[in-house]
Structure 1
C-alpha cells in the first residue's frame, strides 16, 4: 500500500527540516509570559513544540506517524492527532496558535477562512496567531516553480510546483546511504498575502504584522518566506 506524503518522509524529516532556532526565538519574542498556553498546528515530529516546552504547550498534527514519533521522543508533552479544522473540538482556550512550515496552504481557501475563524474562537483575548507560509505573490507572478534544493550528507530534497487544473507540489527525496528515492505530490492552495491579511481582518484580528523572515525582516515582495503575527 502506498504511504502518504508525510508518512513516507517521517524517518528522514529531521535531515530535511532540522530545528530552526529562528522559529524558536520568534515565538519567544511574541510571548513574554512563560505561563502562556500555546498550541502548534502541524507539529510534525514535535521538535519545535519541544523546543518551546518552557511554555504550557501542546502539538497537533493530522499525520499519525508524526504524532507517534513525537510522543516517543517527548513523553512530557501532550501531542494529539487532529485535523487543524477541528481545533475547537479540544474545548480549550489558548494564548497562542502557531502554524509554521507552510501548513496553512494544505487547506482550500474556504477551509483557510474556516480555520482562521476557529482559531479566533479558541484564542483568549489578546492571544496571537503566528503563521508562516511561502510568498506566493512572488512565486505566482514570476513563475518560480522550483524551490531551492535541500542537500546535505544524508539527503537531497527537490521541490517543484505544477499548475494545471490544480496547484501541485512535487517532491523528490533521495536517501544518500541507500540511493532510495521517494517521490510524492500533494495539492496546495497558493494564497496571496493581501487575501490572507484580508481574511484575518474580516474575522477580527488586529495588529497584523507581515515579515519576510523569522528575524522580523520587513516584508519584501522578492523574499520567499512570509511570516505573520496577529492579535485577537
Structure 2
C-alpha cells in the first residue's frame, strides 16, 4: 500500500489588510466597522491527501493560493484553521531567502547548509561541489552584498538544492539565472525529484509541470477546482483560463 506523506484537512489561510485611504492608524488599531479592514482568504477550505510517489503540479492564476498553500505545507505559514499532517519535514525549494550581507558567498554556503541540517562532515564533503555549481568563480570569496540579483539567486538556489528531502516543495525555482544555469538547475531538480518521495511543483510553465508531474491540483480563489491525472487537469485548466 502506498504510504501517506501529506494530509491537508479543511485548511484556511486568511490575511488581514487595511485601506490607508479609509482608515487612520487609530482606527486600524481599534478595528471595527469603517476601519478599512478586509480579510483575504488566500487558502479557502482546501483538503487533499498526497502519497509517496505523487508528483503534484499546482496550477492556477496569480493570486490563486498556490504559493501560500506550499508555504503552509512547509510550515512557514500557520493555517488560520484546519490541519496539515506530514510524514517527514518538508523542504521548500525556491530562490527567496535571507543570507548574511557582509559574509562571503562561501561563508553563506557553509552557514546555510548547516542551518538546513547538514552535518559538518557532510558539508566538508559537499562544499566544493556546491561552490562549483554556483558558477560564481572567484566572486564566491566576495561579500554577498556586492552580488547582483542574479548572482544572489544562483547562490541561494545552490544552497537550497544541497540536501535531498523526502517531501520536496518547488516554487518557481526553475526561473533562476541565465540559460546555462537554468539548464543546470533543471537537471538538478529532476535528480531531486527522482529521489524525493513526494513532490509539489509551482511553475508558470505548464509544459514543465506536465513533464515532471503525474498529478495536478488546480486552485482558484484559494479553492481546489480540479484534482486528478496531470494531463486531465492541464486540459481542464487550459479550457477555462
TM-score band by shorter chain is: 0.3 to 0.5
Bigger fraction of residues in helix: 2
Which of structures 1 and 2 has the larger relative contact order (alpha carbons within 8 angstroms, sep 6+)?
Answer: 2
TM-score (normalised: structure 2): 0.34
Bigger fraction of residues in strand: 1
The structure whose Rg is larger is 2
